[in-house]
Amino acid sequence: MDPTEVVPFLQDLACRFGADDELETVLGSVVDQLLFHESLMRPEGIGGSDSSWRSVINGVEALVSIKSIALMFTRLPQWSPPNATAATFERQSLMGPLCRLGVFSREWVRFLSGSWLPD
């Protein structure tokens, strides 16, 4: 599929399945695959050599550019998982992996005054 055809295709899907609240069935697994992609979970952050996270961001951007699909995100059970705690929310919630993206390694904050802090 040509990149210029993605948004019109998503608009067609939203028109076809949005009225019957079937978008979760059609696109729910796609959203899961994007937002729980391994490139968003790397401990070295986005500053590493792999830039596959950019494709994930582009995919999410295309999806949420359509209002009915963006609303569908909030209806998915992973949007706010009932078993998530404050410590696990970034790894279990739908937008958590995306929100934890950063240029620094996840380990860098443990270096304070030359000593390691406990996890």
Specify the pLDDT at position 98: 82
Q: What confidence category does residue 105 fall into, taking pLDDT thresholds of 50, 70 and 90?
A: low
DSSP H helical ranges for the chain: 6-18, 23-35, 53-64, 67-75, 89-92, 96-99
Burial 51-67 (b: 16+ CB within 10 A, else e): eebeebeebbebbeebe
| Chain segment 30-83, per-residue pLDDT in tens | 999 999 888 887 766 666 667 788 888 899 999 999 999 999 999 999 999 999
Residues 6 or more apart whose Cβ sits within 8 Å of residue 38: none
More confident residue, 11 or 40: 11
